[in-house]
Amino acid sequence: MHRFLLGLIQLNSGSDVDLNLQKCENYIREAASEGAKLVGLPENFPFLGSEKEKLERAGEIASKTFNLLSNISKKLNISVLAGGFPSPASNGKVFNTSIIFGPDGKEKFEYHKIHLFDTDPGDGIEYRESRTVESGQIVPETYKSPELGNISSVICYDLRFPELFREIMKKDAEMIFVPSAFTKITGQAHWEILLRARAIENQCFIFAPAQTGTHLKGRETYGHSLVVDPWGNVLGDAGEGEKLLLTEIDLEEVQKVRKKIPALKHRKIHS
């Protein structure tokens, strides 16, 4: 299948896990009814509340998330990216985890976020993800879907580390998800340009489902879920607010761009 319909779900998640997951299910069903074969959810989609509550409820959040998305992907015969959710680690912290479920409902891909957001970006909020999240140590694999193509995923802050994307390209990725909860202040400055840069550098599709709006304690996320093609064109921009963004993907564009400018083959420096 060279062409397929992609659905990106943009959310304003809070601390009510059941409500968040119900919204996810509704949007996934809507996407499938429109013909989408691949659907992506943003970072923190099942829970965006206090760090304390995240740690206390990590097992419940992970279990409910896994069960819902495994069941619905099989029922609707689609692939779903669980963009980023807490799953228990062995040291009392959690991993920030993304999973891809195939159309058979089985887990095809799992990744633990490597780069943790410990910053003071200037919005009056101190972000210290490492207080509760254990950094992943393994470069994401690539899910080679027979129906769709070669799919991988990073999570949010990973976007700022191009060397990670280069490592993923060694694993034949054609599409990379960047599920995110980008802050409004950094999103306005850097979101689109970084996503387009990663697409151009790696000559692949970038799919970036995002959080939007105001959350707990005044935290603001940028929205603007984006679909970027391998030439760097923005094919879809969700703007602000909760919504489903549908975009037709032509996977042949990957090989067309790589043939025009074979930069990946011309590399002289390899890590």
Q: Given phi > 0 = left and psi -120 to 50 = alpha, else beta, which region is 88? A: beta
At how many degrees (to 10) do helices 51-76 and 17-33 cross? 30
Measured CA angle at 42 (ends 37, 47), to 5 deg: 125
Which is catalytic among the residues 23, 37, 43, 204?
43
Q: How far is CA 103 from CA 45, 75, 174, in A?
A: 20, 8, 19
Q: What is the DSSP string of 229-249?
A: -TTS-EEEE--SSSEEEEEEE
Alpha carbons 43 and 155: distance in angstroms, whole number: 7
Residue 74 annotated among the catalytic residues of the structure: no
Residue 204 annotated among the catalytic residues of the structure: no
Owner of token pair 């709006």 = 213
Which is catalytic among the residues 37, 156, 204, 253?
156
Which is catalytic among the residues 113, 174, 204, 253?
113
Residue 156 annotated among the catalytic residues of the structure: yes
Q: Decide: 203 and 264 in contact? Cβ < 8 Å.
A: yes
> Alpha-carbon Rg of the chain, whole angstroms?
17
**Active site residues per annotation:** 43, 113, 156
